[in-house]
Amino acid sequence: MSAVEPPLTLINGRPALALPVTDRGLLYGDGLFETVAVRARQPCLWARHLARLQRGCARLAIASPDATLLGDEVEVLLAGAPAPDGVLKVVVTRGSGPRGYAPPALPTPTRILTFAAGLPGPVFAAEDGIRLTLCETRLGDNVRLAGVKHLNRLEQVLARAEWSDPAVHDGIMCDHHGRAICCTAANLFAVFQDGIVTPALDRCGVAGTVREVVREHAAALGIGFIERALPLPELLGADGLFISNALLGVLPVERVRDRYFDSAAIPATLLERVRKAALEPETPA
């Protein structure tokens, strides 16, 4: 790569701040993204984020970026970051094309990397639990897009606009059948006496990278773990509740509106192991 001042934004490997107005990511949300925690100038869970990006590209029939090239670009970006910790966003769109929904016959995908200093947090705070609300906005069923972190996030945007109380960390979103699916920016886990239940994401929702970390560590600890439909009343009747996302790891929930949960019901060892694994820096190359 040419010797340039390390940028905070790279578009197709070059410092830039603008996209063509014909880019399908802008016009149609035709693409995917990953939000990655950065610690000590290294991305966390990079291998998992890259694998999910590749799976999403395959689902949308978008050519996935070369893993080595993308890793090199991440290293260049983070080497020039103004802080060692922050948030890396990786966006892949189908690129530009002619007017209309039909994908171009020979698309040239667009790669966008951005860095923002500072992780939300403090990362290991809220030991007694966070507050959630219930969102009126519902998630629509779409089997073809279920689990994929695609660029169409209007449902989450509308849901997030429903509250302004800074004491509320996030909001629970349901599908049109009244089943709890996720928060606007996190996966959900309900703790019962016989184990942990996380909502099935076979019709909507995003399959988070830390969600899989929770599953794996629960199995290693011999904790029951199942993915299935979870009606909202059942979720609100759980002994404990916690959430996960790539920037925060895992956080226990203290209350959802006026329903309180017992953080002691969540296996402490599980939380500790997942937090450590989720926020462990990795070399992207």
Q: Identify whether residues 58 and 197 lie together within a single domain.
A: no
DSSP per-residue string spanning 152-189? --HHHHHHHTT---TTEEEEEEEETTSBEEEETTBEEE
Task: Note the pLDDT of residue 2.
Answer: 39
Residue where one domain finishes, among candidates 55, 84, 117: 117
Contact predicate 113/88, CB 8 Å: yes
In a domain, 165, yes or no: yes
Q: Domain containing 162 — which CATH number? A: 3.20.10.10
In a domain, 104, yes or no: yes
Residue 198's nearest CA partner among 247, 254, 256, 240 is: 240
Residue-level pLDDT, tens digit, the chain, 285 residues? 434 344 599 999 999 999 999 999 999 999 999 999 999 999 999 999 999 999 999 999 999 999 999 999 999 999 999 999 999 999 999 999 999 999 999 999 999 999 999 887 644 455 679 999 999 999 999 999 999 999 999 999 999 999 999 999 999 999 999 999 999 999 999 999 999 999 999 999 999 999 999 999 999 999 999 999 999 999 999 999 999 999 999 999 999 999 999 999 999 999 999 999 999 999 987
Residue 52's nearest CA partner among 248, 207, 280, 279 is: 207
Q: Identify whether residues 94 and 163 lie together within a single domain.
A: no
Task: Note the pLDDT of residue 98.
Answer: 93
Task: Note the pLDDT of residue 218.
Answer: 98
Domain interval for residue 20: 9-117
Q: Identify whether residues 103 and 148 lie together within a single domain.
A: no
**Looking at the 3D structure of the chain, how many domains does it have?**
2
Task: Note the pLDDT of residue 70.
Answer: 98
* Rounded Cα distance, 188 and 210, in Å: 11
Contact predicate 157/281, CB 8 Å: no
Contact predicate 217/225, CB 8 Å: no
In a domain, 44, yes or no: yes
In a domain, 169, yes or no: yes
* Rounded Cα distance, 244 and 217, in Å: 13
Alpha-carbon distances, residue 209 vs 65, 70, 75, 249 (angstroms): 19, 18, 21, 10
Task: Note the pLDDT of residue 124.
Answer: 45
In a domain, 285, yes or no: no
In a domain, 284, yes or no: no
Residue where one domain finishes, among candidates 117, 145, 179: 117
In a domain, 200, yes or no: yes
Residue 252's nearest CA partner among 188, 165, 172 is: 188
Sign of the C-alpha dihedral computed for residues 48, 49, 50 and 53 taken in this order: positive
Q: Identify whether residues 92 and 224 lie together within a single domain.
A: no
Q: Identify whether residues 95 and 162 lie together within a single domain.
A: no
Q: Identify whether residues 80 and 149 lie together within a single domain.
A: no
Q: Domain containing 71 — which CATH number? A: 3.30.470.10
Q: Identify whether residues 94 and 156 lie together within a single domain.
A: no
Q: Identify whether residues 113 and 168 lie together within a single domain.
A: no
Task: Note the pLDDT of residue 60.
Answer: 97
* Rounded Cα distance, 94 and 84, in Å: 31
